[in-house]
Amino acid sequence: MRKKIVAGNWKMNLDYNEGLALFSEIINMVKDEATGTQEAVICSPFIHIHSLVQLSKGYSKIAVGAQNAHQEEKGAYTGEISAKMIKSTGAAYVILGHSERRQYFGETNALLAKKTDTALKNDLRPIFCIGETLQEREANTHFDVIKTQLVDGIFHLDAEAFAKLVIAYEPVWAIGTGVTATSAQAQEIHEFIRKEIAAKYSQEVADATTILYGGSCNPTNAAELFAQPDIDGGLIGGASLKSRDFTDIVKTFN
Ligand code: 3PY
C-alpha cells in the first residue's frame, strides 16, 4: 500500500523561534493522528531544519524536509545550499520544482532533472512538483504541460530511483489564490499522472507512487480531495502555518 503524506510547505515564513514553537505544537497535536502508512512532513526554511529534526526524534511518523536544493554537489555558489548539507541535518525530504521556484527563479525541467539526480544521490526524497498555469488550462494544453514536466524532469530515472520520489500536482492557478481545483479536476490529473507512470515504468511502480495534491488545500476541502482514488495526501501552504489546521488535515485520513 502506498504511503499517505501530508506535507507542510512553510515557504519563506517564520523566524527561528516562531518555527520551533509551531513545530513543537504540531508534534504534540499530530503525534497520535498520523498512523499506519501515513506520514506528516514539514518542509521549513533552511535555518530551522536541523532543530526541527532534533525535535522530531522519536516520532516515526513525523519528518522534516527542505524546500529547495542546489543541483551541484558543492562549489563556489555563494548563498546556496547543497543536498548533502541538507541530508547532514537529518532531513528526509526536499521539495523540488515548486511553481514559485519555476516562476521566480527560472527553474526549468532540465535544471530540475539535475536537482532530482543530486537530491537522490544524497539520499533525500524529492517531492517533485508539477502543474499547469491558468493560461495553459484555458488553452487546453494542461495534459501536455504535465506530461512534459514528467518526461523532462523525472522520467530519465530508472524504476528503482523513481520509486523514491513523491509527486505533487499543484495547479499554479490554485497556489496562494484561495482557489482550489475541484476534487474531480484534481483526480483527473492524478489519474493521468499515474497512467503515464504505468506506461513509462509499470503498473506496479505507478500503484506504489504517492501523488499529493497542492494548492490552497485546507481543512475544509481536504476530506473530499483525499477521498479521490489517486490522491494520496497534500502539499499544504498557508494551512501548514497553523497547527490546528495542519493537524485537521492530517486527521482527514483517520
Ligand atoms: C499552496 O498551497 O499554496 C502551496 O503552494 C503548497 O505548496
Kindly list the distances between the CA atom of residue 126 and the CA atoms of 18, 85, 92, 123, in Å, as whole numbers in the listed order: 26, 15, 9, 9
pLDDT at 48 over 90: yes
pTM for the model stands at 0.97
Q: Which of 70, 98, 142, 190 is catalytic?
A: 98
Q: What residues are in contact with ligand 1 under a 6 Å CB criterion?
A: 9, 98, 170, 175-176, 214-217, 235-237
Residue 28, SS3 per DSSP: helix
pLDDT of residue 180: 80
CA of 43 to the centre of ligand 1 (A): 11
Which of 93, 95, 128, 175 has most ligand 1 atoms within 8 Å of its beta carbon, as the pocket-test mutant?
A: 175
How does the average pLDDT of the chain come out, rounded?
A: 95
How far apart are the CA of 234 and the centre of ligand 1, in A? 9
CA distances (Å), origin 58, targets 23, 34, 66: 14, 14, 20
Per-residue pLDDT band at 66 (split at 50, 70, 90): very high
- How confident is the model at residue 245, as a pLDDT? 97
Could you report the predicted ipTM of this complex, rounded to two decimals? 0.96
Q: Is 72 part of the annotated catalytic residue set? A: no
* DSSP characters over 204-237: HHHHH--EEEESS--TTTHHHHHTSTT--EEEES
Region 113-118: what's the mean pLDDT? 98
pLDDT 10s digits, 150-184: 999 999 999 999 999 999 999 999 887 777 889 99
**Residue ranges of domains in the chain:** 3-251
CATH number of 3-251: 3.20.20.70
